[in-house]
Every structure is written in structure tokens, then in C-alpha cells.
Amino acid sequence: MNFKYLMYYSIIFFLMGVNSTVFSQKNNPNIVIIYVDDLGFGDIGVNGAIGVKTPNIDTLAKNGLNLTDAHCSAATCTPSRYSLLTGSYAFRSNAAILEGDAPLIIDTKKETLPKMLQKAGYTTGVVGKWHLGLGKGKIDWNKRIPLGPKEVGFDYSFLIPATGDRVPCVFLENQEVVGLDINDPITVSYGSRIEGYPWGFKHPELLKQHTDPYHQGAVINGISRIGYMKGGKDALWVDEDFPFVLTDKANDFINKNTEKPFFLYFSLHDIHQPRIANIKFVESSSMGPRGDVIAQMDWCVGQITKTLKKHNLLENTLIIFTSDNGPILDDGYVDYARELVGDHKPGGIFRGSKYSVYEAGTRMPTIVHWPKEVKPGTSSALLSQVDLYKSLACLVKQDIEKDAAPDSQDFLKSWLGKSNKGRKFLLEEAYTYGLRMGKWKYIKPKKKPVPNWIVQKFVDPGFREEVQLFNLDEDPSEKNNVYKNHPKIVEVMEQKINAILDQK
């Protein structure tokens, strides 16, 4: 072939390549992960909620797939979020609940879920709770924070930096404090007390809700937080405005990205404490503040679907609605969650809660909605959020970089309801470890005493000195420890869990 022909064919093949990328990008669905904070399996209507109505979530479920055995990877927030975005178990990096000034725990040299989607042509955004750390050491809140969502793979970010109950109580947009007056700089401190906003333990008269001893630092908007803070008065958030501020930002992101596929990680503050519902939602449930913020969260979900519908995008948007860890009643603030719960079962029929290795700690309300591809129904496939990385990579036909997502497996078909096949083994991280194998649930013994602050929350983290084994088919509420009757199963599961944990 002479040079002229070679050039000719190269150009044709090049254009065909470009065309097919453009074509597949055009057809790739938008992806929205709605990540609710501390929402339990039984907190939504379709899973049996009694004390609160969730019409918007129920509509997603009615037109989508309700997964009844899908798990976050851990019974607390930071570890679950870490696994979701990295496809790696949290224990590998000792990812644990972080303070508000902790450094970023995601390795920015490695590929992440949003980086993988960027490579597939997606515009990526995160709106809401972050809680994965920021910067690399002491944070200067008065400048752009050098390490954060951008370096993790998000083109756009609007954040609650850590949690609603931790300072600093300001939003960050693209890693800069929103509305900061440079003449009133922000200082944040964990551990040593600094003058600035009054301290909760000294000024109970300022509080909207009383707290446990751990939440008695800076009082901001009548709520005392973990940690101390000074300055940044003009930038302070108003907790009651969270649902509006966050849905506005999420909607803006959608409005600006209608032309090409986007990935939105919409990470709500609700239903974490402090549970301070907007007046629009106060008394919208029969369960007090905890129920009211569930109704508020449901409203946020409805706003997102409305915006997608407005742009004609709902049909080809994959929405994954789920939560980061199980439910909790009393978790630091006196909001009468325990007293007002009535017959409502936050964890459904499952035992445990947030912080606990029993099923309710990680078995999450999970709904997948994608009218173009997902048929309405339910599925009991055993699934883990750690697999979303690999599964979504398969969806958008991307290879995963070497060293990335070591624990993530492709279960795309099951996430979309096209197969019932679940994980053979599924790790549940809490303050000890659980392992699922089909109907079996194994819990690793742990001798360590239960931390005091967990005892105060009336939570059973599942620590026992002996092995625990439950047959979830016969005993979904993990009441009868049958390990003595099944030594072979115990042996297999023990070996498997040790093999996983030894890979560190």
C-alpha cells in the first residue's frame, strides 16, 4: 500500500474510532447516586415504613428495582464512602470516621470511580456531605483547599466538608469556602478549645437541642458541634436550609450538563443528626425530627427526578438510591428519636443499627431506577456497594487501571435486575467483621470492650468472645447463634474472612 492510501485509511479508521466514542458517550446513561446518610432499610415506604411517608422514593421503587439484600461496605460513613469511590475495602487504609479537619484519605495518584467515569466522557460532580478528609495536613480554610474532590475526580463540588455535627459549619464550592469575608478568617480546632463561637457545655441556654458530652463544642445556629471554631460569620450555613441549598446545587449541576453524560454523587446530609428539619417539614411525620427529616429527604429525591424529567433525561438516567450505613435513633442530640419511634422499624426486620455488625448495620434500602434498561421489580441478589465501581466501569466499557479498585467485582447484570446472581462472599465492616455466604452470616469474635460512647447510644455493635453464625433464611433477625451445629460452615467462612483481611 502506498503512503497516500495508508494516510487515507488511517484517517477513515481514526474518524470511525472518534465516532464510536462519541456515539457510545451519547448513549451512556447519566448516573446519579443519591446517597442518604444513616437511612435504615425499613425507613422507606416500600420497605415497610410506618411513621413517615416517602412517596417520591416509593415512585422510584415502583418504576425501578428494589434490592433487598444490597449492602454498603461498612456500618459507618467514611469507610462506606471510601469503598464506594475507590472500590477498595476501608480496612486496607484504616478508613474510619474522620474529624472535620482530617486530611484527604483517598490516594489521588490512583484511579477512582469518578476518574474512571471522566475517562468515559462523563462530567462529574459531588453535592453534599464529603467526610473523606481534605488537604494534606493542617487546613487553611481561608484559601482554596489543595486536595479534595477535584483531585479525586470530580469536576464540580459543593460540600458539607465533614458532617453536620462537626465544624467548620460552612459550605465549600470547588474547595473554597462560600461567602467568606477575608477580614473574618476561619480557624478550626479539634481537641484544644479556642475562643470564638461559644461552647455548648458552657451555654446550654443557646441550644435548640441538648447533646451528649461529645457534641458540646462550638455553638452555631443554636446547635453545638464536635470541635471548635472561630470566624467566618458571613459564611456560616443554616442547617434548616440544607435541603434547599443542596437540591438547588444538584439541580444546577444537572441543568448545566444536559448535553453530555454526567455523574452526580448527591450526598445528602439527611437523615444524620443534628436532625433540624426545615419548617416546611416539621411535623410531617409522626416520629418527630427523625421522621421529619426522612420526609424532607424524600422531597429532595423528588426534586431531582423532577429536574431530570424536565430535561427529558429521566428515561436514560441510572439513579441508584441508597444509604451509607444503618439507622440510629439517639446519636448525640436529644431529638426524641427513641421515644417517638412507635411501631416504625428503622432497620426493618433486621437486627442492629449504625455501628453494628448485625445485618441492619449494612443492609441498605437500595433502589435502582433506569426506565430505559431496568424493569420494575425486586431482587434479593447479595450485592455490595464496593462493586459499583467495577460494575459501572463495565456499563461504560472502561478498563480499570492497575492497582485501582482491588475489591470491586462486576455485578452489573444484578444491579440492573438482569440476573439474580449475587456475591459468593460479602464482607461487612463494622467494629468487628461480618461475612455473608448465601444464607449464612458469620461474625468474627472480638474481645475488646465496647467503647463507652457506643454503649450510651443503646447500640449492640456485635462484639462477642465466641464466633456467631446465623442462618438468615430461617432467622433473618439473627437471634439464634447456631455456630456449634455447623462446624464445617464456620471453618470455610473463618478461612475466607481471614484470607480477605490478611490481604492488607
Residues that bind ligand NG6 (CB under 6 A): 37-38, 76-77, 97, 131, 163, 165, 214, 226, 272, 325, 331-332, 453
- Taking CB under 5 A as the criterion, the residue among 77, 271, 318, 405 binding Ca ion is 77
131 binds, among ligand NG6, Ca ion, none (CB under 5 to 8 A by kind): ligand NG6
Closest approach of ligand NG6 to the CB of residue 126, in Å:
16
Closest approach of ligand NG6 to the CB of residue 230, in Å:
21
For residue 100, give the nearest of 76, 129, 120 by alpha carbon: 129
Determine contact, residues 256/278, Cβ cutoff 8 Å.
Answer: no
Closest approach of ligand NG6 to the CB of residue 193, in Å:
16
Type of residue at 26: K
- Other beta carbons less than 10 A from residue 245's beta carbon: 18
Q: With the CA atoms of 164, 165, 167 and 171 taken in that order, what torsion angle do they form, in degrees rounded to the nearest 10?
A: 10
Closest approach of Ca ion to the CB of residue 201, in Å:
25
Closest approach of ligand NG6 to the CB of residue 29, in Å:
29
Determine the residue with CB nearest ligand NG6.
77
414 binds, among ligand NG6, Ca ion, none (CB under 5 to 8 A by kind): none
Interface with Ca ion, residue 58, by CB under 5 A: no
- Other beta carbons less than 10 A from residue 143's beta carbon: 14
Q: What is the DSSP letter of 426?
A: E
Closest approach of ligand NG6 to the CB of residue 268, in Å:
12
413 backbone dihedrals φ, ψ, rounded to 5°: -60, -40
227 binds, among Ca ion, ligand NG6, none (CB under 5 to 8 A by kind): none
Alpha-carbon distance values, 369 to 47, 217, 318, 419 (Å): 16, 41, 6, 16
97 binds, among ligand NG6, Ca ion, none (CB under 5 to 8 A by kind): ligand NG6
214 binds, among Ca ion, ligand NG6, none (CB under 5 to 8 A by kind): ligand NG6
Q: Pattern of binders to Ca ion over 115-154, x per CB under 5 A?
A: ----------------------------------------
CB nearer to ligand NG6: pick between 294 and 472:
294
Interface with Ca ion, residue 37, by CB under 5 A: yes
Angle at 356 between CA 84 and CA 271, to 5 degrees: 65
CB nearer to ligand NG6: pick between 130 and 263:
130
CB nearer to ligand NG6: pick between 354 and 436:
354
367 binds, among ligand NG6, Ca ion, none (CB under 5 to 8 A by kind): none
Query: What is the footprint of Ca ion within residues 273-332 (CB under 5 A)?
Result: 324-325
CB nearer to Ca ion: pick between 231 and 243:
243
Q: What is the DSSP letter of 93?
A: G
For residue 104, give the nearest of 73, 149, 160, 142 by alpha carbon: 149
Q: Pattern of binders to Ca ion over 466-495, x per CB under 5 A?
A: ------------------------------
Interface with Ca ion, residue 271, by CB under 5 A: no
Closest approach of ligand NG6 to the CB of residue 38, in Å:
5
Q: How far apart (Å, rounded) are the C-alpha atoms in residues 222 and 208?
A: 5
Q: How far apart (Å, rounded) are the C-alpha atoms in residues 135 and 130?
A: 13
Closest approach of Ca ion to the CB of residue 111, in Å:
25
C-alpha cell recorded at residue 389 = 465501581
CB nearer to Ca ion: pick between 150 and 290:
290
Closest approach of ligand NG6 to the CB of residue 165, in Å:
5
Interface with Ca ion, residue 111, by CB under 5 A: no
CB nearer to ligand NG6: pick between 131 and 436:
131
Q: How far apart (Å, rounded) are the C-alpha atoms in residues 259 and 8?
A: 32
Angle between helices 289-310 and 55-62 in degrees, nearest 10 = 50
- Other beta carbons less than 10 A from residue 462's beta carbon: 26
Produce one character per residue of 99-135: b if its CB has 16 or more CB atoms within 10 Å, e if not.
Answer: bbbbebbbeeebbbbbbbbbebbbbbbbbbbbbbbbb
CB nearer to Ca ion: pick between 266 and 470:
266
Q: How far apart (Å, rounded) are the C-alpha atoms in residues 399 and 419?
A: 22
Residue that has been written with the C-alpha cell 425530627 in this structure:
289
Q: Which residues bind Ca ion (CB under 5 A)?
A: 37-38, 77, 324-325
